[in-house]
Amino acid sequence: MIPTTNPFDDDHLREECAVFGVFGHVDAAAHVALGLHALQHRGQEAAGIVAFDGRQFHAHRGLGLVSDIFADSQVIGRLRGSAAVGHTRYSTTGELVLRNVQPLFAEFEFGGMAIAHNGNLTNARLLRQDLIKHGAIFQSTTDTEIFNHLIANGRGAMLDRVIQALNTVEGAYSLIQLTKEGLVGVRDPLGVRPLQLGRLDGGWMLASESCAFDIIGAEFVRDVAPGELIVINDEGVRSHRISLAAKSRFCIFEYIYFARPDSVVEGKSVYAARKEIGAELARESHVEADMVIPVPDSGVPAARGYAQQSGIPFELGIIRNHYVGRTFIEPTDEIRHLGVKLKHNANAGQIAGKRVILVDDSIVRGTTSKKIVEMVRNAGAAKVHMRISSPPTAHSCFYGVDTPERGKLLAATHDEAGIRDAIGVDSLAYISLDGLYRAVGGAARNGAAPQYCDACFSGDYPIALKDQMEGDEPPQLSLLAELG
Ligand code: SF4
C-alpha cells in the first residue's frame, strides 16, 4: 500500500536552499534578486537579501517567491550598496517562520555580518546543546545560526573566527558571508553542495549554480573547490584552503534532479548529463514500446536521451500545467479529489492504444507515480512501462535535502517487483548505480573511493551523521508563531 499524501506534493526530494552574493557592482541587490529568481527551483518558500553600502547594512526578507518578495522596486531601492548577499529556501511547514529566513544578520566585535547557507550541519544539534549550555540565546531553529555563535565566541580578526567556526562544524554547506570587509564564500571539505564564482563588469559573484550568472549576463569563472574559502574585497579575490584536499563527494542528485538543466556544475552541463543518464538507462533496460514519454518537467532530458539511444519516438504524452499555485494551498475535498490532474494531464490522442515508456527522475513515496500511471492507463495506453533515471531512493539525505523519513521511502520497504506492483506498471527499471556513475563521470562507481555522494541510494554516508547517532531528544525550542 502506498500512503496517501497531500495531492499538491509532487513527491520529489527537495533541495533546501540557494545562495547568491555580489561584490563590487552597482545595484548589487537588484542583481542578487535576479540571481535568486534564477535559483528559485532550489527553494520556493522564503527569500531574503542583505546589502552593504559602505556604512550600513540593509535587509529585506519575506515568505513566498522571490518575484513577490522583491516585486516592489522601492524595496530593492532601499537595499543600497555595491555588495549584497541573498538566499532562497525551502522548509517544512513547521519551520516556515520569518525568523528562520536568511540571510541571518548579527553584530559582532568586528562589525555586522550577514550569512546565507545552503546545506546541513551534521553536528548541529550537539553544537547547539553545548552553546545553549554555555549561555547562547538562539533566535532561530536554523543550523546556520550556529555559525554566528561560534564566530562570536571565536578569537582574533573576522577571518580567523570564521575559520575557527568552520573547524568546529561538520556537514555539507555552501556559505556566503557579507561583512564590511567584503564577501566570504566557503564550500564544505567534500564539496557536497555546489558553489561557483562568476564575474561581471569588474565585480564578483558567488552562486549555487551557473544559471544565476546567465540571467544577469555574468561570466562563469569556476567552481569553488571543496574545502576552499574565497575572500572577495577591494583588492580582488583571494583563495584559502580550510581543509586538506579530500576526494570530492559532490551530490550526484544535483545531476539527476536538483540543478537546473541549463546550469554547468562541476564542469558538466546538467542537461547533457541528464540525457546521458537517459541513454544509459535505455542501454540497461530496453523494452519494446511505441513511444517514450517524459514525466514533465524534470523527466524531459533523460527521456530525450532514452529515446535517442533506443530509437523509440519521443512524445509529449503528459502535459504539465505550470500555473498551479497558492490558490490551492488549502484545497477543498472536491479539489483534493482532482489530485495529480491539477498539475498533469494525459495527452490522450497520443497515448490511446500505444505501448508507452514513462521516464521520471525518481520515485520517493510513490504517490505521484501511481496517480500518473493511472492517468495514462485511463487515457487508453495499451502497456505502461516506467524507467527511472536514478537508482532506488532507499535512504534519507542529511546534507541539505528534504527527504521523508526512511520508512516512508517506497524503495526502503519494497523491492523492485513490489514497487512495480504498488505503482501499477507493466515493467519498472531504475538506472544502476554503476550506470549512473558511467553517465555522469565516465567510470563505474569505485566501491572504495566513490567520486560522488550517493548516500540516498547506497546508504554510504560520506560525512558522519553525529546528530543521528546520539540518542538524546533535541532541545525543545519554543518558536513564536510568525507565519505570515
Ligand atoms: Fe545528494 Fe543523496 Fe547525498 Fe543527499 S544523500 S547529498 S541527495 S546524493
pLDDT tens digit sequence for 350-359: 999 999 999 9
C-alpha cell at 3: 500512503
Q: How many residues does the chain have?
A: 484
Q: What are the CA-CA distances from residue 473 to residues 108, 399, 469, 477 (Å)? A: 31, 20, 11, 12
- pLDDT of res. 478: 35
The yes-or-no answer on residue 17 being catalytic is yes
Neighbours of 28 (CB within 10 A): 28
Task: Report which protein residue has its CA nearest ligand 1's atom 2.
Answer: 456
Distance CA 431, CA 285 (A): 8
Each domain of the chain, given as residue ranges in start order, spans: 18-249, 272-440
Task: Report which protein residue has its CA nearest ligand 1's atom 3.
Answer: 453
- pLDDT of res. 131: 96
Alpha helices in 107-246 (DSSP H): 124-133, 144-153, 158-168, 211-216
Residue 101 CB-half CA count within 13 A: 26
pLDDT tens digit sequence for 213-242: 999 999 999 999 999 999 999 999 999 998
Cα distance from N-terminal residue to C-terminal residue, the chain:
36
For the chain, the helix, strand and coil percentages under 3-state DSSP, each to the nearest 5 = 35, 25, 40
For residue 252 and ligand 1, the question of a CB distance below 6 A is answered with yes
pLDDT tens digit sequence for 272-288: 999 999 999 999 999 99
For residue 259 and ligand 1, the question of a CB distance below 6 A is answered with no
Distance CA 305, CA 15 (A): 24
C-alpha cell at 424: 501499477
Say yes or no to pLDDT of 123 above 50.
Answer: yes
- pLDDT of res. 338: 65
What's the whole-number average pLDDT of the chain? 90
Task: Kindly give the distance from the C-alpha atom of residue 280 to the centroid of ligand 1, in angstroms, as a whole number.
Answer: 21
pLDDT tens digit sequence for 193-210: 999 999 999 999 999 999
From start to end of 102-209, where are the E strands? 104-108, 111-121, 171-179, 182-187, 196-200, 203-207
For residue 455 and ligand 1, the question of a CB distance below 6 A is answered with yes
- 62 alpha-carbon distance from chain centroid: 19
Pick the atom of ligand 1 nearest to 172's CA: 6
- pLDDT of res. 279: 98
- The arrangement of strands across the sheet holding 228-233 comes to 104-108, 111-121, 171-179, 182-187, 228-233, 236-241
For residue 433 and ligand 1, the question of a CB distance below 6 A is answered with no
Specify the pTM.
0.92
**Check: CATH 1.10.3720.10 for 272-440?**
no
Share of the chain above pLDDT 70, in %: 88
For residue 401 and ligand 1, the question of a CB distance below 6 A is answered with yes
Q: Among 361-370, 395-404, 443-452, which is the least confidently predicted range?
A: 443-452
Residue pointed to by grid coordinates 521520471: 360
Average pLDDT over residues 417-434: 97
Q: 18-249 falls under which CATH superfamily?
A: Aminohydrolase, N-terminal nucleophile (Ntn) domain (3.60.20.10)
